[in-house]
Amino acid sequence: FTKPVSVPSLVDKLDELTRAHPQEAYRVLIVDDESHLAVYYSLILQRTGMVTQVVTDPFDLIPVMSEFNPDLILMDVYMPHCSGLELGTVIRQQPAYVGIPIVFLSTETDLNKQLDAMNLGGGDEFLTKPIQPDHLIMAVYSRAQRARTLRSLMATDSLTGLLNHTTTKEQLVQETLRAERSQSSLAFAMLDLDHFKSVNDTYGHATGDRVIKSLSRLLQQRLRRTDTIGRYGGEEFAVILPDTDGATACKIMNDIRQRFAQIRQQSEDEEFSATFSCGIAVYPTFSDVGSLKTAADKALYRAKHQGRNRVVL
């Protein structure tokens, strides 16, 4: 550091940031066989508003990972039975964990061993004990922040900022499980812009893109925070409405359909309107993700067949 960081002010600043967005607090998994050290690091990070979990037995790591869902792993190198290097290798073998930063923290000062930890153990950084609290905070914070940003870029579609196809599908799996657990209903809607080929042919691809964005904005305005909106394909969207029955979902989507048809879309030299068709399927009428998707798709096909610009359940 050329400019020393003052710990109290850094802690206050980060704590303030997390207080404003508590659900966005970084989650740090601390792996160290010496529990007093693990607790010490944990307290330092918690003071900045981060959420931590301590693992002192390396064999607990993998089960805890899937439950805790960490943004970053802070890991000791020398532990009984299993080294941090071996654990790092195991973590990196799981596709879901490839992007999680691993920061090693050890008394090891031999550079070659440190490099091994990064090369073989999949580590992103090697810090040495004892560590200054401000150094620990910054190393963890900056890596967790970058990992979050990358993760959210990978989950979203660049034109609209909506969830992309893969993430929308994952979300449908999660929401269906949640509906099952809470014995509630869930509506899944598929939307497809009508005669979009001719919109592109008549007004150009850039205008077509603006129509896609206008539907994405309208969906974001009209739906609840707890609803999921995804760009499912080029001019196709998927919407997940938790705790919603078929009749309510139809009402909501019909309202959006009418509002969308009224938007004056702008091309270079004229105004026009665009419409979409929508097919809806409801859980538990269709009780697994596969049949929900097929049923929504079939309903969408019927909406197209019956003349477009309509919602079919």
Of these partners, ligand GH3, Mg ion, none, which one is at the site of residue 208 (CB under 5 to 8 Å by kind)? ligand GH3
The answer to whether residues 168 and 232 touch, using CB atoms and an 8 Å cutoff, is: yes
**Binding to ligand GH3 by residue 194, rule CB under 6 A?**
yes
**In terms of CB distance, is 55 or 215 closer to ligand GH3?**
215
- The tokens for 178 are 């949640």
Question: In the window 181-210, what residues touch Mg ion (CB under 5 A)?
Answer: 192-193, 196
**Binding to Mg ion by residue 71, rule CB under 5 A?**
no
- The tokens for 32 are 């160290």
**Binding to Mg ion by residue 227, rule CB under 5 A?**
no
**Binding to Mg ion by residue 26, rule CB under 5 A?**
no
Of these partners, Mg ion, ligand GH3, none, which one is at the site of residue 280 (CB under 5 to 8 Å by kind)? none
Sign of CA dihedral 67, 69, 74, 78: positive
**In terms of CB distance, is 188 or 203 closer to ligand GH3?**
203
User: 15, 125, 180, 209: which one contacts ligand GH3 (CB under 6 A)?
Assistant: 209
Q: Which segment (98-106, 124-132, 136-144, 186-194) binds ligand GH3 by CB under 6 A? A: 186-194
Sheet of 276-283: strand order equals 228-231, 236-242, 186-193, 276-283, 311-312
Give DSSP secondary structure letters for 172-201: HHHHHHHHHHTT--EEEEEEEETTHHHHHH
Q: Which segment (84-92, 196-204, 239-247, 254-262) binds ligand GH3 by CB under 6 A? A: 196-204
Q: Which segment (26-34, 88-96, 131-139, 266-274) binds Mg ion by CB under 5 A? A: 26-34
**Binding to Mg ion by residue 59, rule CB under 5 A?**
no
Locate all alpha helices (DSSP H) within the chain, ordered by sequence: 7-20, 35-46, 61-68, 84-92, 111-119, 133-155, 165-181, 196-203, 205-222, 246-262, 289-305
The interface mask with ligand GH3, positions 230-269, x = CB under 6 A, is ----xx----------------------------------
**Binding to ligand GH3 by residue 311, rule CB under 6 A?**
no
Which residues, in sequence order, are CB contacts of 299 under 8 Å at separation 6+? 190, 278, 279, 280, 281, 312, 313
**In terms of CB distance, is 101 or 279 closer to ligand GH3?**
279
Which residues are the active-site residues? 235
**Binding to ligand GH3 by residue 162, rule CB under 6 A?**
no
Q: What angle do CA 303, 197, 293 make, to 5 degrees?
A: 40
Q: Which residue's Cβ has the minimum distance to ligand GH3? A: 234
The answer to whether residues 229 and 220 touch, using CB atoms and an 8 Å cutoff, is: yes
User: 151, 178, 205, 251: which one contacts ligand GH3 (CB under 6 A)?
Assistant: 205
Query: How far, CA to CA in Å, does 67 sit from each of 38, 64, 70, 292?
Result: 19, 5, 9, 27
Q: Which segment (33-41, 146-154, 212-220, 247-255) binds Mg ion by CB under 5 A? A: 33-41
Residues in contact with ligand GH3 by CB under 6 A are: 192-197, 200, 205, 208-209, 212, 234-235, 304, 308
